[in-house]
Amino acid sequence: REGGLEGDVGESVKQEDGVSVSLSGLREQSRQAYLEKREARELELLEQAIRDEEELFSGQEMTERERKDLAMRKEILRMAKNRGGEEEDDAGGYRLPDGFIDEDGMINKEKKESVLTSRYKDDVEEKGEMELWQEEQTKKSQMGFGKKKKDEKEYDFVFDDAIDFVVTETKKGKNKKGKESDDVKPDEPEEPVAKGLTDHEKILVGRKKLPVFAYRDEFLEAVAEHQVLIMVGETGSGKTTQTPQYLHEAGYSKLGKIACTQPRRVAAMSVAARVAQEMNVKLGNEVGYSIRFEDCTSPKTIVQYMTDGMLLRSFLTEPDLKSYSCLIIDEAHERTLHTDILFGLVKDIVRFRKDLKLIISSATLDAEKFSSYLDDAPIFMIPGRMFPVDILYCKQPEADYVDAAVVTTLQIHISQDIDSGDILIFLTGQEEIEQCAETLTMRTKGLGARIPELIICPVYANLPADQQARIFMKTPPNSRKVVIATNIAETSLTIDGVCYVIDSGFAKQKSYNPKTSMESLVVTPISQAAANQRSGRAGRTAPGKCFRLFTAWSFKNELEANTIPEIQRTNMGNVVLQLKALGINDLLSFDFMDPPPAECLMRAFENLYALGALNDRGELTKLGRKMAEFPLEPMLSKSVIIAEKYGCVKEVLSMVSMLSIGASVFYRPKDKAVHADTARLNFARGGGGDQISLLRCYTEWEDSGFQTQWCFENYVQSKSMKKARDVREQIAGLCERVELEETSCGVSDFEKVLKAFTAGFFFNVSKLARSGDYTTVKARHTVYIHPSSCMAKDEIPADFLVYFELAFTTKEYMRQVAPIKGEWLTELAPHFYNEAD
Ligand code: ADP
Ligand code: MG
């Protein structure tokens, strides 16, 4: 199911013509609209005045009047900033009238009158405006959980949007033996660490407290006895950081490197840094990591953390992995595509390398499956303690989970004891995380010293290393940490001290649409299993609470029980290419743990053959070998590579990047629709359809020096453009690797560009039928031009169209279409088309 929980968190991912539009895209639109408003300046003034005043009054008594006045200005500021829509709406958004803020940042007296009068029409005469305003805020601020203390009354105005939660169940705790128990005791108060201990000595004391430490010797015995071992333990028990060190201490590093794979780059880097610290060595020497585009290892390295994709690539250069003595496939429960392929490869390799130790490590209990796949390998359990966790669900579906997460955080922060624990929020990606952090910062800043400090720590892949370290720092007294993360914090990273989890219920997942052969990252509801993993993060050090930003009904009825392994929801084209590049030819008998459906494999073979990546014996061609280097869908990588032949690599790279960001590029505010449409037409003028419009758009932006201003002027989303630029840089880097020269033919010569595009996308061609409709050339399916296309209103329809993808809604729509010549087909795809077509 693409596009989220309809009718539940429906707003968060909207279905629009069958294509999911992420909330961030919508948000970006409203933010840009907002930016254009002249109010921006006024708000700045207001903000400055508030800051000045706070400074002026710091440490001094304010009169009641002054206090209220300041509070009101802050609230106006917050509401005005929060306003999403155009009109004043029920969510409390303000539209500031002209001249509402004076030059000195004060609210204009007469104007204030008018705003308040319109909001509280009738009563304003009888009651004082301020009282009324406060009354309304108080009414709205009923918090749905927790005890509210008397002295917290003054925080009331924080919420005009409190969320109601219901406690439905409590997840039972587990005692030290890993048995469910009603009575899990917290730790004895920590003995004061003896004075004079260095930081490193303190770390060593900490290592011994981890659950896995008690099983160190048993673990090493099991490894000595068995070649293959399945290791299972709760997140945070020490599997990732400790077991490689144990293996090293037991002498395995003398025989070869100890490798530990991670599905995510951030986890590989962060864990390696931690282990280097624990072993008191410099990162990159004895302990290192390798991720794509970055190798932080040296000949000295004995413990190597790496992404699963990197280990996969090692098979290309060292098929027997003889430089390794132990392999730990970590986070196996995640079942990423790379991990699944690794399973098949390592299963094979342990048969002929009897000296290689293999450990499959997982945070969930369904280890039997791994065990039976690996010839009944023994399962090593690390019992972990777990405190009970209350599960709270939203009473009503929340429209915007980022906003709901912000409000819930504030609710927790204010209503719960300050030393009761830190907060962990699960969102889906960097953009959301940044926005959440930004809103939290703004809302807490407005409250100044009235609430205890909230330390906001975002975590995502591109975060600088020093920022990453911040998430692990101990929270100082009288403050609370809130970590905002993707599902990386589900099992890969453990943050001590978390007692509250806020779960959006979503994650970004790769999803593959076999009808269109397209793969994209889509915000998808998580599985019940993942939701339970997330809630478990709240009960590591003390009893905790998990706030689910979805309803109990939704959990039961709309979430899948388990996450479907990536291999079953991915485009097999890429997998086949990768495995072929590894020299594995007979894929039908490859030992997959969960084999992809045979017909998917066959379809992939056929398509790769038609693309020219495989020859008629099913072997990789020279072209196929190059295509395997690109992390792109084969149709796209073919277009890029073939572009060299037409001398238009530069143009195709820009076009492909624009096409593959999957976000909307053009922006159309309601009140400026005509301007926006004209701006868009400018890109389409000159012909070439949507693909070439996108190319013109990118090229002009590039010519402007990648200006944000240019985006505003041309009604183009600057964030989408920046994303496209990032993607482009990555692909261009790979072009260098396969020695593809970045030739350029100029935008005006766009027929070449379309030819290169068609060389990859010839599966997606439709022909004008006598009826005036288009039908696909091979399947003779009726398809329509998507209304958003710049060709939708062309008076003279083109005879042949190539399209980027099909969107299924009321009709089958072709999205991103371009006119081509019929005779290109037999020229570009002789294996697929013949004269009869
Ligand atoms: P597992 O792999 O079993 O989930 P880990 O080995 O990742 O467990 O984590 C064990 C402990 O190490 C965690 O409880 C955490 O306290 C600590 N830890 C892990 N990474 C870091 C880090 N980068 N900084 C500080 N502490 C860390
Ligand atoms: Mg781990």
Q: How far apart are the first and last CA of the chain?
A: 34
Q: Are strands 544-548 and 498-503 parallel, antiparallel or unpaired?
A: parallel
Digit-coded pLDDT (tens) for 766-786: 999 998 899 988 778 899 998
The pLDDT confidence band at residue 325, using thresholds 50, 70 and 90, is very high
- Measure the CA angle with vertex 238, ends 235 and 242; round to 5°: 150
- ipTM score for this prediction: 0.98
Task: Indicate which residue's Cα is closest to atom 10 of ligand 1.
Answer: 238
Q: Does position 106 have pLDDT exceeding 50, yes or no?
A: yes
Token pair for residue 110? Answer: 């007469």
The region of weakest confidence among 61-70, 119-128, 432-441 is 119-128
Amino acid 160: pLDDT: 58
476 Cα to the center of ligand 2, angstroms:
26
Mean pLDDT of 245-263: 96
Dihedrals φ, ψ of 228, to 5°? -120, 135
Secondary element (H or E) of residue 820: strand 812-820
Contact assessment for residue 660 and residue 727, using Cβ atoms and an 8 Å cutoff = yes
Q: Which of 524, 224, 532 is nearest to 355 (CA)?
A: 224
Residue percentage of the chain with pLDDT more than 70: 80
Task: Indicate which residue's Cα is closest to atom 6 of ligand 1.
Answer: 238
Q: Which of 337, 274, 352 is nearest to 568 (CA)?
A: 337
Ligand 1 pocket test: which of 199, 274, 359 has the largest number of ligand atoms within 8 Å of its C-beta? 274
Amino acid 14: pLDDT: 33
The partner residues of 479 in beta bridges, in order of sequence, read 453
Digit-coded pLDDT (tens) for 392-410: 999 888 878 999 999 999 9
430 Cα to the center of ligand 1, angstroms:
22
- d(Cα 309, Cα 338) in Å, to the nearest integer? 6
271 Cα to the center of ligand 2, angstroms:
8
Q: What type of residue sits at position 682?
A: N
Token pair for residue 497? Answer: 């001290």
The pLDDT confidence band at residue 185, using thresholds 50, 70 and 90, is low
Mean pLDDT of 185-207: 72
The pLDDT confidence band at residue 345, using thresholds 50, 70 and 90, is very high
Amino acid 463: pLDDT: 73
278 Cα to the center of ligand 1, angstroms:
11
- d(Cα 502, Cα 317) in Å, to the nearest integer? 44
Amino acid 190: pLDDT: 54
Listed ranges 166-170, 246-250, 518-522, 597-601; the one with the highest mean pLDDT: 246-250
Ligand 1 atom at minimal distance to the Cα of residue 468: 23
Task: Indicate which residue's Cα is closest to atom 23 of ligand 1.
Answer: 274
Amino acid 23: pLDDT: 36
Task: Indicate which residue's Cα is closest to atom 18 of ligand 1.
Answer: 494
The region of weakest confidence among 248-262, 502-516, 640-654 is 502-516
- d(Cα 345, Cα 579) in Å, to the nearest integer? 10
Q: Does position 130 have pLDDT exceeding 50, yes or no?
A: no
Task: Indicate which residue's Cα is closest to atom 21 of ligand 1.
Answer: 274
The partner residues of 215 in beta bridges, in order of sequence, read none
The partner residues of 381 in beta bridges, in order of sequence, read 232
Contact assessment for residue 178 and residue 383, using Cβ atoms and an 8 Å cutoff = yes
Provide residues with CB under 6 Å of ligand 1: 210, 233, 235-242, 270-271, 273-274, 472, 494, 496
- d(Cα 748, Cα 684) in Å, to the nearest integer? 12
Ligand closest to 494 (CA) is 1
Ligand 1 pocket test: which of 212, 240, 241 has the largest number of ligand atoms within 8 Å of its C-beta? 241
Token pair for residue 285? Answer: 């020497």
Angle between helices 689-703 and 673-684 (to 10 degrees): 100
The partner residues of 379 in beta bridges, in order of sequence, read 230
Amino acid 112: pLDDT: 53
Ligand closest to 270 (CA) is 1
Ligand closest to 244 (CA) is 1
The pLDDT confidence band at residue 567, using thresholds 50, 70 and 90, is confident
Digit-coded pLDDT (tens) for 461-476: 767 777 778 888 889 9
Secondary element (H or E) of residue 239: helix 239-249
489 Cα to the center of ligand 1, angstroms:
11
Task: Indicate which residue's Cα is closest to atom 25 of ligand 1.
Answer: 472
Q: What type of residue sits at position 627?
A: M
Ligand closest to 271 (CA) is 1
Ligand closest to 469 (CA) is 1
- d(Cα 463, Cα 451) in Å, to the nearest integer? 28
Q: Evaluate if pTM is beyond 0.80.
A: no
The region of weakest confidence among 412-416, 517-521, 578-582 is 517-521
- Measure the CA angle with vertex 828, ends 824 and 833; round to 5°: 85
- d(Cα 495, Cα 99) in Å, to the nearest integer? 48
Digit-coded pLDDT (tens) for 264-313: 888 999 999 999 999 999 999 999 999 876 789 999 999 999 999 889 88
DSSP labels for 769-825? -TTS-EEETTT--EEEE-TTSTTTT-SS--SEEEEEEEEESSSEEEEEEEEE-TTHH
Nearest-Å Rg of the Cα atoms of the chain is 29
- d(Cα 467, Cα 495) in Å, to the nearest integer? 14
Digit-coded pLDDT (tens) for 779-823: 788 999 988 899 998 888 999 999 998 876 677 889 899 999 999
512 Cα to the center of ligand 2, angstroms:
28
